[in-house]
Every structure is written in structure tokens, then in C-alpha cells.
């Protein structure tokens, strides 16, 4: 009998995906360990058409294949048919060569494999292309006979909400999503078989501006990608005999204005329920309102491709925890949590009653909603009631970032259930939980999770509330490792890395934000002399993000797809160094082959630091070194040995020149433009390994001295913060890490929590005891960059660290301290569940560990007394000590309970 079994099969990062395109079918599974130390020695995959026998009709059978591979095994069998449905299964062999049974079959379906197929349909729009209201589009059609399979393929320039026979086709929101529409058009595939019937049917769509045409950024830009919102859809109906019928968008559709008078992602939605169109998406519909012919436009050569990311959905409801009336006619509701989404109304009011909803993250000192920090975003929904009993409404095409809702216009006192908060975000699967004996640290983790969830909406944005909501690259890379600890973001970043590469300039310069806007047009999301490019920590998202995703999820194709982006970025760095030295200063020009001078990208520096600027040349050169090292690693992984050797030599040269330029005789890190050191300068030098061993101890001394000189407070901004606690832990300063974590005065995470934060602030001083909210020009209360500290809570407080790709080898090394009596974390990695829970009772340290199948781990126990170590009450025969004096035990898959004496 085998000691392992295959479970949790996934294809292309998802369960049973629909509409795959060429090259997207890749197979992964988890190895269930039925005994300790169980591991996979071989595997076999079979793929067959849905409903046919594996043994007789396989289109791909790998046969028994030696190895522990279990992640992202790419299909290489017979060509898969467009729109075909397939099933697949896997069998494993353990270390003793005993075969498991076959897994339960999993499924996937192919989609449109040739963009030319989209040309059977046409782009359609309301006849008034500039209509500000959200137009309704509809078509009736008949189906003869039975339906075996029906799928709807759709995309839109703007946003689309689709119904068939009066029923929504999906619970996904804000379709088709956000990308750089000038480069590619995202499409989706939905199984609609259950919504259709033999006989008469109808399909309808509501369109809105969305990101494509709507208001964006603090500059209130409109029409970044275009001025006409359009729908493109194809309904494929397959009968039992294999024949196919298509219903497509064309000039046979009709259009009309509807009850949604306006919809803006930033400003909100206005809806008049008295203008509803009745059963407009059902067959046999009769209307007193005139429906007009649509405008139809042929499909051109645009790249239409499957949206590979994560769908946006309604994910949680929040009931008000408090409400009050600041003045007659106005009520404020506290939902208890800052999040992204909208409010759903439930009403019994007279027809024509106009209700206004305004949204805010915090309150003014006199308990009114605070909206100054929203800048030009109105964040206001208007609803005109129909007077029907128990009418309900929520926006379809807008969202806000808020904890508080101001309701005005309600006649009398509203009932308790008049308003419910609906959290909306990309549906990334939960992957991690933290727990410990300190409530403030648990609250910090919760705040980080909610900030991440509120900003992971189509792209990793900076904030969900004000007139910005852009995919800032620096924030994304700084927080990514923490994001992975909390959620499975593999598919989410699979999509965004494409956006990132689309936004890069051909010469290698990287964007401030991604998506960034139309290529070849004057309008961009960031209008600036350098065309919205950024370097040093922001631009390095091009190297840091692909490598981090690869390390944590093990998909080599991430590096294959984005290796060019990574190396072009380092090429740009290289071209803008000081002549004869591998260091980088500002105000340099890149001399391109055609002789043009291009000003260097924007350097944001250690953004929002606390009175501790770091010299730009230190940041520039440090990230040049790190991106070079990451390119070196990627080259080795991709077997590009010659490239790897060149990058390795370049990194050595940068490291040498960094020390020559910025390292003083007494071990301080000081630049030329700012003749003082900083915490961030030391953190970059130490974390990126830019110092020789002889200089590290002195640099750590200076770092610690700087922290102590500030009454044990940090001074780091966005750039230094992710490395602060990891560097201190690495160099034996665990107790200082806990001191920083547990501070409750400014600047600290505890300061935010003490002031009622339910999410992570953009600024350490976002709120003042006396004055209330801080600078309204840039003051988000849901900005995840400073939440990057939570990576340390997983890796050091709980002790779960990745040692090999995709957690093939794990280190469990809890850092005891801070007065904690217990702490722990669970992380669902691609291989399965990892768990570390420790507690202290008297002088005894207890550690419970779970290691997934097909993985191994080093267990580091905080004791010098090897004889005191037991596992499940049995003595552990022998151990070695690590550099910290911990004793190390090697284990394989399984559950373990260790005990030892604390020193």
C-alpha cells in the first residue's frame, strides 16, 4: 500500500478552469502523506475528453515518470480542441515504489484558440456613443432541440453585466476587468448551459465606463483608453450530436437607456428605480420605451485573450455596529471595519424618495464623516426609490473604500437593517492565519489582511478610496511576500505581471504604476516629464515580483515569460551608472542607440520616512545590485549559464563599488547628496549582502544605535520597512524586533491601532490625538506597504520560512521573545498545509509542527540542552546547533510535537 495519495488537483492555478488558451493547461496537485516522511518518487498524468474512458481515449498519457515533480507540469500531448472539455487524473509512487490509486478526475475546458474566431461577432454600443447613463443591450433568439453545452465568451470596452433569461450569468463583478486595453483586451468564458432552454431565449447586457472611459486619478482624466463603451460577446451552443450554433453581438441587437443614470468607479453610482425596464432580459419582453438599433463595429486585429487573474466578487457582509444622527436628516453608520465595496440598501419608503450615501474611512473629531482625504473622488451613491415593498439596491459598477456611511434623505428614523456593507475584491484564496498571545499583534495581522484584500481588486492598488487607486509598483513589490503568506496570489500576479511588462518602456525603464495607459497616445495614467517611469524600489518590481512568485509557487514559466523584462530593466540601470564605476546618481541621461537623451526615471526615495532621508545614490545603487542578483538567479534557473556568469560578475563589481563609494572607515553607510546615515541605508546594505562579513557587525551596531537614539523607534519609509525586522533577526536582534513591534506611540503600528485603525495607514502620522486626520492631500487609511512587517510574523515569530522553491524544504525556527507565551501560524502553500505553533510553560518550550507531503523541514529549537529535546515524548537521538545556538532536527512530511528546556 502506498504511503501517499494525490489530492487537490489544479489546472492553470485554478479548480476546473474554463476557456483555456494554447499553452495554458498545466497540472499541479498536493501529495497527501499517509505516513511520516512520505514522499513522491514518480508520477503519471492521463488526460482524456470529458465523458470518455481514460484507458481508451487518452490524448496525453505521460506514463510513469520518475521524480518529485508535482507543480505546473505543462501539457504536451495531442493538440487540444478549441472549446473542448477534458478530464485529467494523476497516480503517484512513493519512496518504496508503491503506487497510489488514481486520483478523482479533475476537469478543464479549452476556449477560443484563434483570435480570428472573435470576428464572427461585432463590437456593439448604444447609438448615442457619448451617453453618460449605463445603456442596456438585448437580443432574443430561439434554440431548437436539446442543449449539451453552452458557453458565453465576452469582453467589453468598459464594464459589462450580463443576464440570460432574467438571470445573471455569474457572481463576478466589474467584468471584464482592468488591463492596458491598448495592448490587450481581457475576455472571460462562462458555462451558461443551465440558463438556456429549448425554445425562446433572451440575452441582455448593461454597460458602464469603468476603467476604460471613466474618471481616473487625481487629475480626473477621462477616456484614457477610448471614448465609446462597447460589448463583444459570443454564445456558443452545442447540441448532443456535436453541431454548434452561435448567438453573437451584431447589428440585430437593440439598446436603450436604463435606470442607472451614471456610474463612476471614483465618484459613485446614481440609480432611479422608477426608470427600470422591467423584464428586459427575458424573452417575449414588451416595452413602452423605445429601443434603438445598436451601433456595430467589426472586430479588428486587437489582441483578445483570456483573463488569467482572479474574479472580483462580493466576499463578505458587514452589519452596522453603531449609528448616530449628527444633525436632522442625516445618519452615520459604523460598519466596524475599513474595506472596499459598497452599501446595499433595503427600503420601504415612498416612491421618489431620494437617498444619498457618502463614504468615509474615518471621522472628524466631532464625529462627522471625514472626506477631505478623498480629494476629487466624490464617493457618493444616489438612489431614487420606486416605492415597492422591501426594495433592495446595490451598485453594479462602482466601489468605495470606507468604514463609515452617511445616509441622508431617509424619511424618519431608518430601521436597523436599512444598510449592509458589502466587501468586494479579487477572490484570492485564503492561505495563512496568524495567532499569538499578544492581542495587538493579532490586530496588526488583521489590519494587514483587510488592507491587502481591499487593494487586491483586479490589480494591486495603493488605496481603494481616493482619486488614485492605481497599481503602484513600489507598494506591490514591498508587500508581495506578506501577501503570499496571507493569500494564494499566484493567479492574481500571473495577470498583473503581464500588465507590468506591458507598461515598461522598450528601453527597459519601468512604470510607476501598471496598467499605465495607452501606448502611442498623449494620455497616460501618470502624466510627467519622464512619462510615468520610476526606478529604485518602484521599477524593481520588474525583477523582484517575478522571482518572488517563482520562489513561492514554483512556476518556472513566470521567469521564462518575464526574463526579458527583468534583464532590460538591469540593462537600463547599467547604462545610467557613473562612467567607470558601478554606482548610480541622479540627473543622468541614458544615451540610447539612436542618440536620444532620456531623463532618468523618478526616484521616490524612502517614501514617507520619519525625518530620516536616505541618499538617493545609495538606494539607486543598492537596488541595481539586487536586481542584478535576481537576474543572475533567473538566468541560472533558466539554464542561461553565460548570462548568469555575466550578471554574477556585474553584481560583484557593484558590491565592490558600493563599499568604495558609501562605506566609511568606521563602518557607516553615507552617501554624497546626504551626508548622514539612515536606518534604511543600513538595511539595504545588509539585506542585499553588499557588505563584507568584516563590515556587517559594525553596520549592525550603527543601525541599532540609530534605533535606540530614537527612543527605540523606526524611521523607515516604504523602501526600508520590509527589511527592518528580517535584518535585525538575522543579526541576533530578536528582542529589539519585538520592542519595535510592540511600541504604541508614534511612529509605530501600535500607534495606529491605539487610534482605532482597522487597516494599515499610508502615513505613520495619519491621525493626531488633538487634530484628528492628517494631511488630506495624501492620507489613505488603507495602504498596505507598512503591513509588510507581517512577513516577519510568519517567518520569525511563528517561524515558517521557505528554504527551497515552492516550500520543497522548510525551516521552522520560531523567534521567542517579546513576552509572548504562545504564537503560531498556518500557511497553505502549493504543496499543502504548513503549521507551526509554539508555547511556553515554565521553562519548557513546546512546538507543534505540520509539514506537507513531498516536503522536508529543518526544525530549530531554542535550547542549548540537546538532551532535553523530545518528540512526541520520545528522545531525539542527535542534533546540531545553528548559528543562533538553536538545536536543529531534520524531519520529513508529517505532524510532530517537540519539547525542550529553554536556556
* DSSP label at residue 590: E
Q: List Cβ neighbours of 88 (8 Å cut-off, separation of 6 or more).
A: 9, 11, 27, 45, 46, 47, 48, 105, 106, 107, 108
Q: Which residue has the cell 509557487?
A: 553
Catalytically annotated residue among 762, 850, 858, 871: 762
For the chain, count helices (H), then strands (E). 15, 53
User: What angle (nearest 5°) sits at the alpha carbon of residue 429, between those of residues 172 and 321?
Assistant: 75
Q: Which residue has the cell 521616490?
A: 604
Return the C-alpha cell found at 700.
Answer: 549592525
Q: What's the full length of the chain, in residues?
A: 903
User: What angle (nearest 5°) sits at the alpha carbon of residue 540, between those of residues 539 and 545?
Assistant: 120
Strands 380-384 and 268-272: parallel
The answer to whether the bond into 710 is cis (omega within 30° of 0) is no
Q: List Cβ neighbours of 646 (8 Å cut-off, separation of 6 or more).
A: none
Neighbours of 850 (CB within 10 A): 18
User: What angle (nearest 5°) sits at the alpha carbon of residue 348, between those of residues 344 and 353?
Assistant: 85
User: What angle (nearest 5°) sits at the alpha carbon of residue 255, between those of residues 251 and 257?
Assistant: 160
Neighbours of 397 (CB within 10 A): 24
Q: Where are the alpha helices (DSSP H) in 35-182?
A: 54-57
The whole-angstrom separation of Cα 49 and Cα 84 is: 7
Active site (annotated) includes residue 828: no
- CB 461, CB 470: distance < 8 Å: yes
Provide the β-strand partners of residue 339: 402
- CB 452, CB 487: distance < 8 Å: yes
User: What angle (nearest 5°) sits at the alpha carbon of residue 6, between those of residues 3 and 9?
Assistant: 165
Q: Where are the alpha helices (DSSP H) in 671-798?
A: 679-687, 693-709, 721-730, 734-741, 749-754, 790-792
Return the C-alpha cell found at 797.
Answer: 515569530
Strands 185-191 and 304-306: parallel
Residue 564: in which H helix or E strand, if any?
Answer: helix 556-575
The whole-angstrom separation of Cα 480 and Cα 500 is: 14
Would you list the DSSP string of 326-383? Answer: EETTEEEEEEEEEEEEEEEEEE---TT-EEEEEEESEE-TTS-EE-GGGTT---EEEE
Active site (annotated) includes residue 762: yes
Strands 185-191 and 809-812: unpaired
- CB 89, CB 53: distance < 8 Å: no
The whole-angstrom separation of Cα 850 and Cα 835 is: 5
Neighbours of 284 (CB within 10 A): 8
- CB 450, CB 759: distance < 8 Å: yes
The whole-angstrom separation of Cα 50 and Cα 57 is: 10
The whole-angstrom separation of Cα 342 and Cα 360 is: 11
Q: List Cβ neighbours of 665 (8 Å cut-off, separation of 6 or more).
A: none
Q: How far is CA 743 from the centre of its chain?
A: 29
Q: Which residue has the cell 483570435?
A: 115
Q: Which residues are catalytic?
A: 468, 762
Amino acid at each position: 500500500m502506498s504511503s501517499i495519495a494525490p489530492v487537490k488537483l489544479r489546472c492553470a492555478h485554478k479548480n476546473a478552469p474554463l476557456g483555456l488558451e494554447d499553452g495554458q493547461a498545466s497540472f499541479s496537485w498536493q501529495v497527501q502523506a499517509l505516513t511520516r516522511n512520505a514522499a513522491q518518487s514518480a508520477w503519471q498524468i492521463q488526460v482524456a475528453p470529458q465523458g470518455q474512458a481514460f484507458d481508451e481515449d487518452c490524448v496525453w498519457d505521460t506514463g510513469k515518470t520518475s521524480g518529485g515533480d508535482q507543480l505546473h507540469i505543462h501539457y504536451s500531448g495531442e493538440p487540444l480542441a478549441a472549446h473542448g472539455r477534458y478530464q485529467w487524473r494523476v497516480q503517484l509512487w512513493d519512496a518504496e515504489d508503491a503506487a497510489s490509486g488514481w486520483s478523482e478526475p479533475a476537469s478543464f475546458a479549452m476556449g477560443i484558440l484563434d483570435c480570428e474566431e472573435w470576428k464572427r461577432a461585432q463590437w456593439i454600443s448604444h447609438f448615442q456613443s457619448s451617453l453618460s447613463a449605463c445603456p442596456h443591450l438585448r437580443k432574443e433568439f430561439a434554440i431548437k432541440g436539446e442543449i449539451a453545452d453552452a458557453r458565453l465568451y465576452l469582453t467589453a470596452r468598459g464594464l459589462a453585466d450580463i443576464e440570460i433569461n432574467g438571470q445573471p450569468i455569474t457572481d463576478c463583478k466589474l467584468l471584464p476587468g482592468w488591463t492596458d486595453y491598448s495592448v490587450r483586451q481581457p475576455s472571460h468564458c462562462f458555462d451558461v448551459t443551465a440558463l438556456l432552454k429549448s425554445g425562446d431565449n433572451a440575452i441582455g447586457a448593461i454597460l458602464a465606463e469603468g476603467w476604460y472611459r471613466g474618471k481616473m486619478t487625481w487629475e480626473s482624466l477621462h477616456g484614457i483608453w477610448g471614448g465609446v463603451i462597447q460589448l463583444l460577446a459570443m454564445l456558443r451552443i452545442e447540441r448532443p450530436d456535436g453541431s454548434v450554433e452561435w448567438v453573437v453581438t451584431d447589428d440585430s441587437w437593440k439598446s436603450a437607456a436604463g435606470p442607472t443614470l451614471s456610474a463612476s468607479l471614483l465618484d459613485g453610482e446614481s440609480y432611479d428605480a422608477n426608470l427600470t425596464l422591467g423584464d428586459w432580459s427575458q424573452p417575449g419582453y414588451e416595452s413602452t420605451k423605445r429601443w434603438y438599433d445598436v451601433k456595430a463595429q467589426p472586430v479588428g486585429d486587437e489582441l483578445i485573450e483570456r483573463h488569467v487573474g482572479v474574479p472580483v466578487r462580493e466576499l463578505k457582509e458587514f452589519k452596522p455596529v453603531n449609528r448616530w444622527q449628527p444633525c436632522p436628516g442625516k445618519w452615520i453608520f459604523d460598519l466596524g471595519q475599513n474595506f472596499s465595496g459598497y452599501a446595499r440598501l433595503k427600503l420601504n419608503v415612498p416612491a421618489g424618495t431620494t437617498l444619498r450615501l457618502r463614504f468615509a474611512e474615518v471621522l472628524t473629531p466631532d464625529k462627522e464623516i471625514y472626506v477631505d482625504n478623498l480629494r476629487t473622488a466624490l464617493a457618493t451613491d444616489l438612489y431614487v426609490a420606486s416605492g415597492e415593498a422591501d426594495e433592495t439596491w446595490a451598485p453594479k459598477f462602482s466601489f468605495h473604500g470606507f468604514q463609515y456611511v452617511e445616509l441622508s434623505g431617509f424619511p424618519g428614523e431608518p430601521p436597523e437593517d436599512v444598510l449592509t456593507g458589502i466587501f468586494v475584491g479579487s477572490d484570492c484564496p485564503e492561505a495563512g492565519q496568524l495567532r499569538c498571545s499578544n492581542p495587538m499583534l493579532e490586530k496588526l495581522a488583521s489590519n494587514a489582511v483587510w488592507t491587502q484584500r481591499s487593494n487586491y481588486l483586479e490589480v494591486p492598488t495603493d488605496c481603494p478610496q481616493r482619486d488614485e487607486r492605481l497599481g503602484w509598483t513600489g507598494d506591490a513589490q514591498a508587500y508581495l511576500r506578506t501577501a503570499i503568506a496571507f493569500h494564494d496570489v499566484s493567479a492574481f500576479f500571473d495577470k498583473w505581471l503581464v500588465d507590468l511588462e506591458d507598461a515598461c518602456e522598450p528601453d527597459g525603464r519601468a512604470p510607476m504604476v501598471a496598467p499605465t495607459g495607452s501606448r502611442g497616445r498623449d494620455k497616460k495614467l501618470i502624466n510627467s516629464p519622464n512619462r510615468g517611469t520610476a526606478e529604485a524600489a518602484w521599477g524593481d518590481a520588474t525583477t523582484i515580483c517575478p522571482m518572488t512568485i517563482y520562489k513561492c509557487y514554483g512556476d518556472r514559466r513566470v521567469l521564462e515569460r518575464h526574463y526579458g523584462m527583468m534583464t532590460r530593466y538591469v540593462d537600463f540601470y547599467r547604462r545610467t551608472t557613473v562612467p567607470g564605476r558601478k554606482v548610480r546618481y541622479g540627473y543622468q541621461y541614458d544615451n540610447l542607440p539612436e542618440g536620444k537623451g532620456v531623463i532618468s526615471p523618478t526616484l521616490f526615495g524612502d517614501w514617507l520616512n520619519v525625518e530620516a532621508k536616505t541618499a538617493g545614490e545609495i538606494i539607486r545603487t543598492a537596488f541595481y545590485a539586487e536586481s542584478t542578483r535576481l537576474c543572475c538567479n533567473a538566468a541560472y534557473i533558466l539554464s542561461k549559464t553565460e548570462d548568469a556568469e555575466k550578471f554574477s560578475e556585474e553584481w560583484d563589481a557593484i558590491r565592490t563599488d558600493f563599499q568604495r563609494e558609501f562605506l566609511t572607515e568606521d563602518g557607516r553607510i553615507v552617501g554624497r547628496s546626504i551626508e548622514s546615515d539612515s536606518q534604511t541605508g543600513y538595511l539595504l546594505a545588509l539585506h542585499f549582502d553588499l557588505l563584507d562579513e568584516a563590515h556587517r557587525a559594525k553596520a549592525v551596531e550603527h543601525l541599532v544605535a540609530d534605533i535606540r537614539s530614537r527612543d527605540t523607534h523606526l524611521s523607515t519609509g516604504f523602501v526600508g520597512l520590509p527589511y527592518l525586522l528580517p535584518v535585525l533577526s538575522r543579526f541576533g536582534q530578536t528582542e529589539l524586533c519585538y520592542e519595535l513591534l510592540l511600541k504604541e506611540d508614534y511612529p509605530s503600528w501600535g500607534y495606529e491601532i491605539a487610534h482605532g485603525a482597522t487597516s494599515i495607514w499610508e502615513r505613520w502620522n495619519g491621525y493626531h490625538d488633538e487634530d484628528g486626520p492628517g494631511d488630506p492631500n495624501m492620507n489613505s487609511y488603507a495602504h498596505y506597504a507598512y503591513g509588510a512587517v507581517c512577513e516577519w510574523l510568519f517567518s520569525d515569530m511563528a517561524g515558517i520560512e521557505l528554504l527551497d522553491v515552492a516550500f520543497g524544504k522548510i525551516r521552522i525556527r520560531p523567534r521567542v521573545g517579546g513576552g509572548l507565551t504562545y504564537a503560531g501560524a498556518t500557511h497553505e502553500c502549493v504543496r499543502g498545509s504548513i503549521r507551526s505553533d509554539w508555547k511556553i510553560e515554565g521553562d519548557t518550550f513546546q512546538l507543534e509542527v505540520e509539514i506537507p507531503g513531498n516536503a522536508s523541514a529543518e526544525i530549530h529549537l531554542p535550547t542549548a540542552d540537546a538532551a532535553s529535546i523530545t518528540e512526541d515524548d520520545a528522545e531525539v537521538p542527535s542534533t546540531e546547533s545553528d548559528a543562533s545556538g538553536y538545536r536543529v532536527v531534520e524531519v520529513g512530511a508529517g505532524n510532530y510535537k517537540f519539547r525542550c528546556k529553554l536556556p
